[in-house]
Amino acid sequence: MSWLTSTVWKIPRAGTLLLFVGACWVAPSAAQELRVPESAMAGQAAVISTNGSGHATFYLIGPGTSIKREINLGEDVHVAPESLEDSGQYLAIVCSESCGSATFYVQPSHPASLSFLVHPSRVPDNQPDAVSGVAFPFDHFGNLVLDPLAVTFQAAGPKEKLFAREVSTRDGVAWFRTASGKSVGPLHITASIGPVSSPRVIAQVASEPCNLRIKGQRTAKGILVETEPVHDCAGNPVADGTIVTFNASGDGEKSTVDAPIKGDVARALITDSGPVTISAASGVAMTNELRVGGK
Amino acid sequence: MKWTLSIALVAATIVLIAAGLFQTRSGGGTVGIAAGRALPGFAMRPDTPEHALTILLGAVQRRDWKQALTVMRTNDAATSEDEQAMAQDWQGSNGSLRTFSSLESFDLWPQHATTDEAQIRARLNWTTPVGPVEDLRDFNLTRSGEIWTVTLPRTEPPNVPAQIVPVTYLRWDLVSGNGQDKWGTHNLDAPRVRIISMNAVNSAQGVVVMGEVENEDTVPAFVNVNATLLNASAAVIDQENSFDKIAHVLLPKAVSPYRIDFPGLDLAKVKNVRMDIKAALVPASADPVIGVMDQKIEQDLQGNPVLHGALLNQSGQTVNIPHVIASFSDSNGRVIWVSDGYVDNALLPQSSAPFAIQIPRNVATNVRSFHVVVNQYSLENS
Amino acid sequence: MIRGEAYSRPIPLMAVVLVALAVHGPLLFMQLPSSSFDANFHIFFASHYVHHWFNPWNEKWFAGFSQTTYPPLTHQWIALLSNVVGLNMGYMLVQLIAVLLLPVGVYRFSRIWVDETASSYAALGSVFLGSLAFLVYQAGQLATVASAALYLNALPYFYEWMNDASFVAMAKGVAISWAAAAAHHVTLIFGIVFFAGPVLWIACQDAVHERIAASLAGAISRAAVFAVVVAAGVGVILLPFWLTLIQHPVHQIPIPHDSRANFLLHSITGINYFVIPYGAMILALPFILLRGAGTPRLRPLLFGFWLAFLFGLGGTTPLPRWLLGRAYDILTFERFTFWATLLALPFVGLLVTNLLRRFTSKAALALSLATVMTIGAALWWLKANPYRPTATVDVDPVVAFLNRDGHDTYRYLTLGFASDLAKVATYTNATSVDGDYNSARLLPEMTHYGSAQLTNAKFYGTAGMSALRSMLAHADRYGLKFVFVHDSYYEPLLTFVGWRKIEVFDHGEVTAWSKEDVPPAHQIPSDAIPPAWQGLMWGTLPLGASLLAIFLEIFLPGTRRAPLQFQMRPPQNEKQYVA
């Protein structure tokens, strides 16, 4: 990319407008006539016709490009595809003794990629409207495709297919919202337009523990207490590492152990020798009380 | 003139040096580096109980175990085993907090004395990586001839029998994605953590904001709680964070007390407290598991309310420095104080160590329940 | 020629300078001082002048500090030379110049008190001083050595001006004094008492006893003129320094230093700050005392020496504390021992002359052994000293880490790096909240505790660790995101306050720790930023003073005669003092 082009690339939209207004101001009514294409597509060549004779200077100013070229009036001006990669309004100006200008619009090309955002990255199972996604179609040159397009959203959990839905883009955006599945594991979500697709994976995790229960027995070292396999209300095992807090109280003292779940079960050793009452909790879930007699 | 002036200068020098010896204030010196013993003739003699104990503790400061033994033995020459045991007594072992500590200063209070026996209470001020630690210790001294010697009860190191402890490490590591993979770019949500209680009180040191925080997510979270005090015109008075008064890494569903200190501020000038909890995904391990046994609020020898208990390492991994954080709640379940304390001894696998956390007297009377969590530093994990 | 006569001839000054070059040149070109306590500090300051000659505000330490807190001459010369030979060798060259100037200064200063032969031996002795080796190779006190060397060179001109009213001497003396002040302010302030005081006293004494042409009133009035001109010049040359000092007087909590310990109660400290610096000169102390007391003309020098000697004992006597007040807790006292040894050298020159006259080659052998052992012991002590700097940190990976991936948008801290803290700062673009110059610190986390560098926090006990905790607690405030640890002592603290180990360098010798959610560093507002005109002054006047001194020394050749035209005669009973 030349220095000039790379510099002008950075001209903001307001700057382009200013140039456009300036060009219109310099163009008298009897100026050069230009015939611009009625419909142009990003990344495709375009031809701009001029009339008259003699030499002139041709300018083309667009959203991400600017061109200055010496031309012969009466001949067609060929604009290369790489000069029309950005969709939007373009201004063509020809100046000899006087200036003339015309504008034309470059449409985005066909969708070539999908920008697909899914939220959240972890979702508890069995939650209504817990997963949302939004897709933006872009053409090969990174232009947002604004024409309505049908985007197909598909979501599949580890054990079930959640949904498949076709949503039309509106102003270049399509979105969905859905409930999370019943089983834990990766939730594969794909957005696609024809052959173009964009997959995403989010983690479906267990919800709060449900029906937490403990059992225990006195051993030589103390009371070995453990939970039954910890599941959420959908029957999925709660994530390993989740803390279960064991509380043992008796004889004016209390003992606590924060034990992580390993292999669906949390275990703790309580060393109290007297009679104790043991319970456990994890988040909002509480267990039964376990009474163990003294040694 | 020659001799007069020479003698005068020498005499003045000697007088000034003598004055320097009597100067009580220590001019310099750094902790933890042996600065060498006093030159012969300038060393203190153990001719009183205080001198004997001062020599012992001075030697401990310099880690000069040979000299320490000179005020502990009178008959036999000290053996290297004695020296080693002495060093282990004072220096700690197994990478415990005491192994990182240096005796910075001490104060002595004679408790009881006869012509042949004396008891002295010493407040030992240790400097440690986690802050100053104060230790009260009673010493018994006996006189043999002109010399006083210190009798120290030998602390036996924990005797852990050889055993096989199943180790099933649960560990979370962070795998960072890039823009091309299907996990997307930087689209992992921060863990969901929540402040489940908060209270602001005035204390002797200033304003204290405290409460409890819970990791409600299914992944480990690094948590930091910040508090900003605002005055009546909504201007910021001060901003501090929970620093080491919190367990920063919380496993799923774990709850930690937190405390944020604003030294020198008065709550009456505070109109509003803005809380800000920051959470980030971090790698973590589910081990070790440390139980807190026999928790009870009692009074110590000086009549101060203290939460006592014992830590039990239920895993197969040595915990070098345990850190106990406790929140105390009133009858309404509101957190009214958060205290913490570091334990001197390392927790070997399946072994236990006592701990004690002080509670302000005015708080202790209102305490109806408490919640203790154990944070830890392990050399293996560091 | 009779053998004894050979020993009574003065050694040519050029020969002494060549000996100094032969002894210290190789050691300096081997960069032996690079592991000294302060060498990296001086190089760091110089590196700032390399990039910002006229802007003394340095963001790299203490979240911003002014280099006008330290006289710049030696640093600016290193910066200039570094363009040719690099920073490290630039430091060595400036140090070498100071070391070569020292025997010249000692010779000229000694000529005020003793004859040419004794002066030449004094100059030769200065090459082998234990205190010099201590300052150069262990302490790295470049500015102290340079300033003392310059000051010793200025004092004979001061004496000559008082005696002869020679304007050439006045000009040279003033210019060199300005240069000395531009190198190190403390040397100038205390030099007035220890060095200039005895010279003024002897000039007055000489005038009273009509040993010189000047009258007492003339000598005193000329001394006053000299003092006023020097003071005015120093006031202007170091104006930014004085303004900074007035704006931010050193109010921080005293920081412990081992030179303030009682040497009798701390034997290793005594070896470090007394035995090693004095070396074999300890054997000469009785001679110094008796000869100084017995010779009226040497008494001013004896008093200067005695006072410096007592100050050099640090906390062994209460005298420094009584006389210095609060300044006692700011100063370190090894420099006083250095000055005491310099003041003792004229006596030592006399002693050497006498010994050589009496015992000729035997004395020469013994004295040679004594001098070699003195400097040898000081060099041996570099390795044997338990306080020695442990310059084993490979800072390159740390510097590389900080200079990549935008890490320099945050501040950093080193722990356990000792003086290598300054080496990291020299070569990284990132800024730190720590630093190695106590008097420049303004952050409350640093000044409210009796602790010096955070990187050495553990050595300052509770005060040091409290300062470190305070800084870590305010990590967000300063954009402090990275901590580099070279001492596992600090790892428990970092773990408990929520830092995580993120990288390991140099096979685990250094670990990098980071904290989540720290915002990027932003400039900390400070009222200590010097205005542009001060930067301009700072960049021109100190160096200008040294260039003026060089110019005058070269283009205004003086009489180069001995300040005194009479010979000192030893007392008749001197043999009993010979060690």
pLDDT bracket for residue A8 (50, 70, 90): very low
pLDDT of residue A293: 79
Q: Which of A205, A242, A260 sits opposite B289 (nearest CB)?
A: A260
Task: Quote the CA–CA distance of C116 and C250 in Å, as a whole number.
Answer: 44
Q: Judge if A163 and A118 occupy the same domain.
A: yes
Q: Judge if B104 and B178 occupy the same domain.
A: no
| Residue B247 token pair | 């367990």
Q: Which of A116, A117, A255 sits opposite B292 (nearest CB)?
A: A255
Question: Does the residue B2 lie in any domain?
Answer: no
pLDDT bracket for residue C388 (50, 70, 90): low
Q: Judge if A248 and A201 occupy the same domain.
A: no
Structural domain count of chain B: 3
- What would the pLDDT profile of B64-85 be if each residue is shown by its tens digit? 888 888 887 644 555 666 677 7
Taking 80 as the threshold, does the pLDDT of residue C223 lie above it? yes
C528 near C66, Cβ under 8 Å? yes
Q: Judge if B337 and B265 occupy the same domain.
A: no
Provide the CATH number for the domain around residue B212.
2.60.40.3230
Q: What burial class does residue C190 get, using C-beta atoms within 10 Å of its C-beta: 0-12 exposed, 13-18 middle, 19+ buried?
A: buried
Residue type, A100: G
- What would the pLDDT profile of C101-135 be if each residue is shown by its tens digit? 999 999 999 999 999 999 999 999 999 999 999 99
- What would the pLDDT profile of C140-189 be if each residue is shown by its tens digit? 999 999 999 999 999 999 999 998 889 999 999 999 999 999 999 888 88
Q: Judge if A192 and A262 occupy the same domain.
A: no
Q: Judge if A219 and A199 occupy the same domain.
A: no
Q: Judge if A138 and A65 occupy the same domain.
A: no
Residue among C222, C138, C240, C139 at smallest CA distance from C185: C240
Q: Judge if B176 and B261 occupy the same domain.
A: yes
Angle at C446 between CA C442 and CA C451, to 5 degrees: 130
Provide the CATH number for the domain around residue A152.
2.60.40.1930
* Other C-beta atoms lying within 10 Å of the C-beta of residue C139: 23
Which other chains touch chain A, taking contact as 3+ CB pairs less than 8 Å apart? B
| Strand B255-263, strand A223-227: pairing | unpaired
Partners of A282 in the beta sheet?
A285
Question: Does the residue B16 lie in any domain?
Answer: no
Provide the CATH number for the domain around residue B317.
2.60.40.10
pLDDT bracket for residue B303 (50, 70, 90): confident
Question: Does the residue B367 lie in any domain?
Answer: yes
Taking 90 as the threshold, does the pLDDT of residue B330 lie above it? yes
pLDDT of residue C570: 46
Percent of chain B with pLDDT over 90: 50
Beta-strand runs (E) in B204-313: 206-215, 221-230, 236-241, 249-250, 255-263, 272-281, 284-285, 290-299, 305-313
pLDDT bracket for residue C232 (50, 70, 90): very high
Q: Judge if A76 and A141 occupy the same domain.
A: no
Where is pLDDT greater, at B181 or B132?
Answer: B132
Q: Judge if A38 and A98 occupy the same domain.
A: yes
Taking 60 as the threshold, does the pLDDT of residue C566 lie above it? no
Provide the CATH number for the domain around residue B64.
3.10.450.100
- What would the pLDDT profile of C182-204 be if each residue is shown by its tens digit? 999 888 888 888 999 999 999 99
From B285, B317, B350, give the residue that closes a domain. B285
Task: Quote the CA–CA distance of C312 and B2 in Å, as a whole number.
Answer: 24
Residue whose tokens read 């013993």:
B37
Taking 50 as the threshold, does the pLDDT of residue A25 lie above it? no
Taking 70 as the threshold, does the pLDDT of residue B163 lie above it? no
Chain A residues in contact with B220 by the CB 8 A cut-off are 241
Residue whose tokens read 């200077």:
A57
Residue B363 sits in which domain range?
290-377
Q: What is the DSSP letter of B247?
A: -
Contact B35 C490 (CB under 8 A): no
- What would the pLDDT profile of C61-101 be if each residue is shown by its tens digit? 999 999 999 999 999 999 999 999 999 999 999 999 999 99
User: Which of residues 94 through 133 in chain A touch B, CB cutoff 8 A?
Assistant: 116-122, 124
Per-residue CA distances from C546 to C17, C94, C166, C541 (Å) = 20, 13, 21, 9
CA-based nearest distance B129→chain C, Å: 6
- What would the pLDDT profile of B198-250 be if each residue is shown by its tens digit? 999 999 889 999 999 999 998 899 999 999 999 999 999 999 999 999 999 99
Question: Does the residue B320 lie in any domain?
Answer: yes
CA-based nearest distance C187→chain B, Å: 22
Residue A123 sits in which domain range?
111-205
Residue among B347, B350, B357 at smallest CA distance from B379: B347
pLDDT of residue C15: 96
- Whether the complex's predicted ipTM surpasses the cut of 0.85: yes
List the single residue in A with minimal CA-CA distance to B309: A255
Q: Judge if B143 and B176 occupy the same domain.
A: no
Mutate to test the interface with B, among A210, A242, A245, A282 (most CBs of B within 10 A): A242
Mean pLDDT of C343-356: 96
A156 near A176, Cβ under 8 Å? no
Q: Judge if B281 and B339 occupy the same domain.
A: no
Contact A257 B292 (CB under 8 A): yes
Residue among A161, A163, A160 at smallest CA distance from A177: A163
For residue A158, whether the previous peptide bond is cis, meaning omega lies within 30 degrees of 0, is: no
Taking 80 as the threshold, does the pLDDT of residue B50 lie above it? yes
Provide the CATH number for the domain around residue A89.
2.60.40.10
Q: Give the rounded distance of the alpha carbon of C555 from its chain centre.
A: 29
Q: Which of A241, A253, A268 sits opposite B286 (nearest CB)?
A: A241
Task: Quote the CA–CA distance of C296 and C520 in Å, as a whole number.
Answer: 67
From A90, A107, A124, give the residue that closes a domain. A107
Residue type, C509: E
Mean pLDDT of A255-267: 92
Q: Judge if B323 and B364 occupy the same domain.
A: yes
Structural domain count of chain A: 3
CA-based nearest distance C271→chain B, Å: 9
Contact A269 B371 (CB under 8 A): no
pLDDT of residue B180: 47
Task: Quote the CA–CA distance of A34 and A25 in Å, as a whole number.
Answer: 16
pTM for the full predicted model? 0.84
From B257, B285, B313, give the residue that closes a domain. B285
Question: Does the residue B318 lie in any domain?
Answer: yes
Task: Quote the CA–CA distance of B90 and C161 in Å, as a whole number.
Answer: 65
Residue B59: strand, helix, or coil: helix
Taking 90 as the threshold, does the pLDDT of residue C268 lie above it? no
Contact A256 B286 (CB under 8 A): no
Q: Judge if A101 and A9 occupy the same domain.
A: yes
What is the number of residues in chain B?
A: 382
Lowest mean pLDDT among B221-225, B284-288, C2-6: C2-6
Q: Judge if B53 and B147 occupy the same domain.
A: yes
pLDDT bracket for residue B153 (50, 70, 90): low
A60 near A90, Cβ under 8 Å? yes
pLDDT bracket for residue C355 (50, 70, 90): very high
* Other C-beta atoms lying within 10 Å of the C-beta of residue B236: 10
Q: Judge if B315 and B329 occupy the same domain.
A: yes
Which other chains touch chain B, taking contact as 3+ CB pairs less than 8 Å apart? A, C
Q: Judge if B130 and B178 occupy the same domain.
A: no
Q: Judge if B184 and B144 occupy the same domain.
A: no
pLDDT of residue A13: 46
- Give one DSSP letter per residue of C394-443, joined into a string: --HHHHHHHTSTTGGGSEEEEES-TTHHHHHHHH-SSEES--S-GGG---
Mean pLDDT of C19-24: 97
| Residue C200 token pair | 């003024």
Contact A269 B352 (CB under 8 A): no
Q: Count of CB contacts below 8 A, B vs C?
A: 183
Angle at B270 between CA B268 and CA B272, to 5 degrees: 135
